[in-house]
Amino acid sequence: MPAEDNEFFDTVGDLLVGMGSTHEELRRKGPVTLEIDGETVTVDRLKPAFAVNLASVYSAVATIYDAAQKRFANQQNPIPVLCHQENLRPAAVCRACLVEYTAVGRSGKETTMLVPSCYLPVTDGAKIKTQATSEKVRNITRTIVELLLSDFTPPSEKNCVPSENDLSVVAEMLGAKADRFPRTAPVVPTDLSSPIIAVDRNACILCDRCIRACNDMRDNQIIGRMGKGAKSQIAFDLNSPMGKSDCVTCGECMVNCPTGALSRRGAGIAIVLNGQPTADADATRRKVHAAELKDKTKTKNWQMFDDIADQFLELNFGSVIRRKVRRGEVLCQEGEYGATAFLIESGKYEICIRKPQKLEQQRSSLFGLTGKFLSHFTSVGQSPGIARPHYISVDAGIALNLAKPPAAANPVLTADDRLFGEMACMNHSPRSATVIAQEDGEVLEVLRNVVYMMQRNRTSRKILDDAYRDRALANFLRQMPFFNADIAETLREIDDKLKKEADRLPPRMKQIMGEIAQRLKKHAADVTPAQRQQFADQIAARLKDSAALVRAYPDSPIVRQGQKADHFYMVRMGFVKIWQKRAGGEIVLNYVGPGQYFGEIGLMSDLPELSDFTPAGVRVASANAVDHVDLVRVSGEHFKQIIADYPGIRDQFLWVALRHLSENVKIASALHEMPLGEFLDQGLIGGHKLLVLDLEKCTRCDECTRACADTHGGVSRLLREGLRFDKYLVASACRSCMDPYCLVGCPVGSIYRAPHGQIEIKDWCIGCGQCSKNCPYGNITMHPLDKQAEVRGSGMRATTCDLCGNKDKVEPACVFACPHDAAHRMNGLDLLASIRQGKQIE
Amino acid sequence: MINQELMRIQHEQGYLSEAALNELSERINVPLHRLHEVASFFPHFRLEPSKATVHVAVCRDMTCHLRGSPACRQTLDDFAKAIPNQKVHVEGVSCLGRCDQPVAVSINEKVFVGESVGRLQTIIQRMLAGEAIEPPASNRSSRGWKIDPYDGQRPYEMVRKFVRMHIEYQGWFESRKTQFAAPAAATGPLDDALLADIARVEGCPEAAIAHYVRRSKEERKREREFLRTRPWLIPAEWVLYELGVSDLRGMGGAAFPAGEKWKSVRRSKTKDRGQSMPSDYIPDNPQAHPGAPPPIKYVVCNGDESEPGTFKDRELLLCYPHLVLEGMILAGLTTGARQGYIYIRHEYTEQIAVVRQAIEEARTICAELFAREAAENLTFKLADVYVSPGGYICGEQNALLAAMHDFRAEPRNKPPSVSDEGLYGQPTVLNNVETFGWVPAILNRGGQWYAEQGVNRGKGLRLFSISGDLQRPGVYEVPVGITLGELLKLAGGMADGKELGSVALSGPSGGFTPRFVKLKSTLPRLSKQLVELGICRGDPDHFDLLDLPLEFDLLKRQIMLGAAIVFYGDQANILEQSLNCIEFFANETCGKCVPCRVGTQKLRHLVGEAVKGRPLDQQLIADLNVAMVEGSICGLGQVAPGSIISILNHYPTSLPQSPQAD
């Protein structure tokens, strides 16, 4: 079964407007089949839709237009659209997408009507006729387009660089004539108050796309519709000229404008990517224009840029650079952070892993420690800790087996592999390998803002998703603890439990645990470690195509207690809270972190070993995402098939499940005494460099704040206030989080994680305030720019603690300046350990 | 919230200053563009300060237009220009709902009707001098209409009856609890027991029982399931039954059976939307905010009567506000809705005051009735009058809701329906003032009684607002199915010795029909029907419109029949009147969808040229008509070309002819 196209979580139980059903209900109903121009097409009822800044994905109802997009995937879609845009919620105001819709109504009679295809949800058995087959539809839509054309004046090239005009394209498609209706709209002057964007309302067809883009997509809340009827216009704030409004010139409105009413004036954002690329054709680092990127003859990876608006690429000119690479040149360094991805144009690139341990220290340090930590005080982590991985995931298309360290024959990437480095760029994780050019070649280095755009569009998203799936999933699966658990260790645990809790455990449970121990003993004797490794490879191969990578967003429910158990989940990133509703209220049972899993009990409840202890087929507890969580989801059927085929693994699962069921109450009480919950809620556990002040030593002399201000042009980037835990104060300063939310959705890619882990904001920041809004801890502040020569956008810029460059072995100024040794930089786990042990920080 | 705040600022400062909007934006944490898009949408709000101290707005639509408003406006405008410092500002305004007393003129938001231009000038001058002049109060005395079953006696009897039935039913239910509790055994015999007991409940006629029995087994099963958890709902059966028998239609124009609408709201569940993503309908999901409205069902009464020629709700609200409120309360009790809003256009100041008073009274009575222990499951709260920020489009149900949600009053796409996701995204009964108004009479005298009031195959009674070149324009309560001739007779015939030339049967929306219609060639389907029914006895191509029965189903989709009928003398220039109708729509389009926003402007231009004598491209008009009818989101765009299409159909000779190239 190929993995579904649409994998994301919604707020469970929310009703979809107009559908009278929840997302889950719709998803459960399965796909629908409908007929478009006589050809059948089957589509899912839901499609992914992006919330503000692509910060989250939710599901929207798939519409007739979406079905047509699928049906005519590689051809021209016969449905013309003007006001519709793939990533915006439908407005259905232009009416160009009208189709004839025939379906059986509530009364049981078949009715035909004209409907906006961008808005109407797909229904099973509906018959659709587009303008290609219905004369009526063609006549009506043509008249509508003629109405628009009659009042339309294309933007003047004197003022701006207009992009392709969708209205002309649609007019040509429908054979619409511009002069059929007399012009009735007055001519209004072009608004040239913004240095970046020209606003020509004579070319505006009031499609509402810029409004939705500005408010829904970017949450800038600047553009609205003003006036009524024929006097309606788009307006900025209280109808200010664009340049005088609070517009931040992120360009989103312009990118979404179908007619060029909002067009680029020529100026762009001065993006300087890794050194000083020039526009010189012979330079080794050269900024690339949109035209070249989309030219099949000049760019091998043109498909990745095909759906990105020229206006965007030009506004962000410099976000894509063409690099001529010499033999032996290092493109990215293992362990470092990076904000770019590389598209291979030509050449061969070798992947090397030099210091395997470094990887564990970096990205995996969090789950390593947490895994230990959890098991330490509950005695039952969801999994028996993380065993040392036999494989590590590589930020490239190849899995490296560490058991055989890479020697002479390192894997090599060529243009067929398309790209590398995209995972570090998308997940904000460090590079997991070093990539070295084996011969002279060419790559396109692409900044994160462009990679976001690639994620938005159907074609390029699929390429990125496939790469992600191939590279991340297989490696991750092989790391999972149930493949690597030490059987002897498990046996000891069982033995221990049976001895210690002999009085407490129900006899039936004791008996089953005993049986499991017997079976595991036999298994250990029969199966060699090499064979077990083989099993792991087999299972990983089996799951690779069926397992789905899904994301859950802070607080969103993943499973609900009492619901049917249908999937098994493994956590790749982030934390999941497992909780139960009980008579006395809600009880948190556990926090599940990276490398751990949940959801297996409900799927195994029909096994005789568990059937006495848990209700059949339903969830015994709920799971909610604590922060941004990446999960690997395996369907219940596949999970059941695997535990049926591999009894050794089944017994491991059974033991863990039984242990949970026997100890749920105990866990709950143990967790309650710990500040872990609060720690997680405040995101401290994900903090990498918390500024912690020991209040017993701190004399409130404020040297730290002064030192910070002195280092950063007079403005302090820390605030000596914040959360208090015990005698520690976590001051408000950038924590360099493991999973920095602030990075998400920066329209110009100016905020990124520097190679040494600190968050830096580059000079081309347009001051849109997105990162500041994103930071849940208020650690990014917006400052007005001094009156500079070129004041662009909001006239503001964002600043945050950059750890004073985080040079090796050099403490940031705040820590260095503290005369009392009260200020420290540490990660969340160390702080928690200090609090728990009540000891001084060293 | 936004609307009220804007109204308050405008009231205090005379206009919405940038500073005030900035302050408001900060205070209520709403982006500037959101305030501006609302403030600039409703003509009621002024974004610029005005030099004028006296604002004069002359109605420019239909009847007032026919009866001399253009001349009146011109005279007043000349008069104003003679006053120094632009102290008086004269402008046109869309229908003020005083079509029975043309010309209607609003001076500083006080509407004066039927005044001579000289008198208006005096009023303006006195207002300029700072004098406060109130127009004479309207006559509030009873019209003696059958819609009022109480005739001065104690109102709200039907609500009382509902509560009594409820209490009795609950007592009965208590005694039957065990029987209900065993669903497996409760099949055949229970039905009989249930029926016998329903029969004993006061006022439940035999026919209601038959109605109950007619349902399929499956339906009854579901009904029982439903009733088991909601024992208080059985009196609702009575209401729905009577409404069903009465065949009461929505009186706002669509003539959708009211009982069906109530039933579907009753079936709909409230929606707990949580934090779900915004939608086209509620772009800013109100339930995702603190202080969000509770997820309950709502009742909304549409009193935004703004269609030219229509003023029946004005009279009803003025003379019988308690009937409308009682209808709303009964709708709430029947459907399980908990809260009711009555939405009234801001120009109806007298009505708003009267209704506010009636709401106070109704609240007291309800509080007393619902306070009884046995009635604890019954509750319905009447909110304060929602004063419309104005505009014809607000009468469109979804636009009305959008205005109540503090958005631009723009209609939305379907689905969802209002019954399913209306006010605040919850199931909502949304009916016209008159529809609610009929409910007490129907329940008091029985649905059968109401249905029998109709004539010529029509069922029931209704109100018509009739105006134009008439002796006695006004609101008339008549049987559904009454012929146009009888209606004209009631109004005393044509005024000033004019002959009837044309009739607009649905305000500006349905176009004009000439006195003598070429039925067979222009409306063949209707012609066939009328001949078959013996209504048209003579030549179907010389049918006297006065013989036409004004009945919903007969005319369905052939001639639009609204609540506003305007009679035109034979001297009226119908093409010019058609332009007037089109201008109304061109002024009132909300601008959301292309066919309507641009289409109405093109119509205005093309018909305007035709009035000036330029030949009309009939194919272009026909194409535009189809695009607007099929393409517009709401009814406004769909009916806007109606009047010019009626000219093409019925008055081809009134169009300027293109010079024939012989």
For A28-46, write each residue's pLDDT tens digit: 778 899 999 999 999 988 8
pLDDT of residue A408: 42
Mutate to test the interface with A, among B598, B619, B636 (most CBs of A within 10 A): B598
> Which chain B residues in 382-411 lie under 8 Å from chain A, judged by CB atoms?
391, 408
pLDDT of residue B505: 95
Give me the mean pLDDT over the B131-140 stretch. Answer: 92
Using an 8 Å CB-CB cutoff, list chain B residues near A228.
40-43, 391, 408, 589-591
For A340-355, write each residue's pLDDT tens digit: 889 999 999 888 765 4
Mean pLDDT (chain B) is: 87
Q: A228, B391: Cβ pair inside 8 Å?
A: yes
The winner for highest mean pLDDT among A42-51, A636-645, B635-644 is: B635-644
Give me the mean pLDDT over the A480-501 stretch. Answer: 78
Kindly tell me if the per-residue pLDDT of A557 is higher than 50.
Answer: yes
Band (pLDDT 50/70/90 cuts) for residue B166 is confident
Q: pLDDT higher for A365 or A562?
A: A562
The winner for highest mean pLDDT among B48-52, B414-418, B655-659 is: B48-52
Token pair of A437 as six digits: 């050019």
Kindly tell me if the per-residue pLDDT of A444 is higher than 60.
Answer: yes
For B311-352, write each residue's pLDDT tens digit: 999 999 999 999 999 999 999 999 989 999 999 999 999 999
Q: pLDDT higher for A338 or A206?
A: A206
Q: pLDDT higher for A244 or A60?
A: A244
Band (pLDDT 50/70/90 cuts) for residue A585 is low
pLDDT of residue A838: 62
Q: Identify the CA nearest to A806 among candidates A814, A796, A818, A794.
A: A814
Of A19, A93, A230, which has the smallest distance from its Cβ to B601's Cβ?
A230
Kindly tell me if the per-residue pLDDT of B117 is higher than 60.
Answer: yes
pLDDT of residue A381: 28
Q: Identify the CA nearest to B271 among candidates B430, B432, B417.
A: B417
Band (pLDDT 50/70/90 cuts) for residue A427 is low
Of B273, B593, B623, which has the smallest distance from its Cβ to A14's Cβ?
B273
Of A89, A94, A229, which has the smallest distance from its Cβ to B591's Cβ?
A229
Give me the mean pLDDT over the B455-474 stretch. Answer: 95
What percent of chain B is predicted at pLDDT more than 70? 86
Integer CA distances (angstroms), A411 to A401, B340, B464, in order: 11, 71, 85
Kindly tell me if the per-residue pLDDT of A52 is higher than 80.
Answer: no
Strand partners, A681: none
Please tell me the least confidently modeled range out of A197-206, A640-649, B34-43: A640-649
What percent of chain A is predicted at pLDDT more than 70? 79
The dihedral through the CA atoms of A796, A797, A798, A804 has a sign that is negative
Rg (CA), chain B: 26
State the SS3 of A312-363: HHHHCCCCEEEEEECCCCEEECCCCCCCEEEEEEECCEEEECCCHHHHHHCC
* Count of all residues that appear for chain A in the document: 842
Kindly tell me if the per-residue pLDDT of A11 is higher than 50.
Answer: no
Kindly tell me if the per-residue pLDDT of B543 is higher than 90.
Answer: yes
Band (pLDDT 50/70/90 cuts) for residue A401 is very low
Give me the mean pLDDT over the B371-395 stretch. Answer: 86
Give me the mean pLDDT over the B413-418 stretch. Answer: 85
Q: How far apart are CA B67 and CA A518, in angstroms?
A: 102
Residue A277 at interface with chain B, using a CB cutoff of 8 Å: no
Kindly tell me if the per-residue pLDDT of A370 is higher than 60.
Answer: no
Kindly tell me if the per-residue pLDDT of A744 is higher than 70.
Answer: yes
Q: What ipTM is given for this predicted complex?
A: 0.91
pLDDT of residue B285: 45
Residue A725 at interface with chain B, using a CB cutoff of 8 Å: no
Give the closest-approach CA distance of A89 to chain B in angstroms.
7
Q: pLDDT higher for A338 or B64?
A: B64
pLDDT of residue B618: 94
The winner for highest mean pLDDT among A548-557, A672-681, B406-415 is: B406-415
* CA closest to A232 among chain B residues: B591
Kindly tell me if the per-residue pLDDT of B392 is higher than 70.
Answer: yes
Kindly tell me if the per-residue pLDDT of A403 is higher than 70.
Answer: no
Q: How far apart are CA B330 and CA B163, in angstroms?
A: 10
> Which chain B residues in 21-50 lie under 8 Å from chain A, judged by CB atoms?
21-22, 31-37, 40-43
Strands (E), B555-639: 564-569
Kindly tell me if the per-residue pLDDT of A582 is higher than 50.
Answer: yes
pLDDT of residue B216: 59
* CA closest to A238 among chain B residues: B36
pLDDT of residue B196: 53
Residue B276 at interface with chain A, using a CB cutoff of 8 Å: yes
Helix intervals (H) in A409-552:
422-427, 448-456, 458-468, 474-479, 481-484, 487-500, 507-526, 529-546
Q: pLDDT higher for A322 or A46?
A: A322
Residue A98 at interface with chain B, using a CB cutoff of 8 Å: yes
For A247-260, write each residue's pLDDT tens digit: 988 899 999 999 99
Using an 8 Å CB-CB cutoff, list chain B residues near A181.
602, 620, 624
**Tokens 């009023």 appear where?**
B123
Band (pLDDT 50/70/90 cuts) for residue B489 is very high
pLDDT of residue B229: 54
pLDDT of residue A368: 34
Give me the mean pLDDT over the B534-541 stretch. Answer: 89
**Widest pairwise Cα distance in chain A:** 93
Q: B21, A238: Cβ pair inside 8 Å?
A: yes
The winner for highest mean pLDDT among A765-769, A800-804, B11-15, B463-467 is: B463-467
Band (pLDDT 50/70/90 cuts) for residue A57 is low
Q: Identify the CA nearest to A255 among candidates A313, A332, A336, A179.
A: A313
Q: What are phi and psi of B588, to 5 degrees?
A: -100, -5
Rg (CA), chain A: 29
Q: pLDDT higher for B524 or B283?
A: B524
Q: pLDDT higher for A540 or B650?
A: B650
Give me the mean pLDDT over the B281-297 stretch. Answer: 57
The winner for highest mean pLDDT among A311-315, A572-576, B648-652 is: B648-652
> Which chain B residues in 462-491 lie under 8 Å from chain A, judged by CB atoms?
none
Kindly tell me if the per-residue pLDDT of B662 is higher than 60.
Answer: no
pLDDT of residue B260: 93
Give me the mean pLDDT over the B550-570 stretch. Answer: 88
Kindly tell me if the per-residue pLDDT of A276 is higher than 80.
Answer: no
Q: What are phi and psi of B244, to 5 degrees?
A: -60, -45
Give me the mean pLDDT over the A579-593 stretch. Answer: 73
What is chain B's percent helix, strand, coil content, to nearest 5? 50, 15, 35
Kindly tell me if the per-residue pLDDT of B624 is higher than 90.
Answer: yes
Give me the mean pLDDT over the A730-746 stretch. Answer: 83
- Are the C-beta atoms of residues B544 and B515 closer than 8 Å to each other? yes
pLDDT of residue A23: 63
Band (pLDDT 50/70/90 cuts) for residue B376 is low
Please tell me the least confidently modeled range out of A376-380, B518-522, B565-569, B580-584: A376-380
pLDDT of residue B282: 42
Kindly tell me if the per-residue pLDDT of B16 is higher than 70.
Answer: yes
Kindly tell me if the per-residue pLDDT of A371 is higher than 50.
Answer: no
Q: B626, A139: Cβ pair inside 8 Å?
A: yes
> Which chain A residues in 46-75 lie under 8 Å from chain B, judged by CB atoms?
49, 51, 58, 60
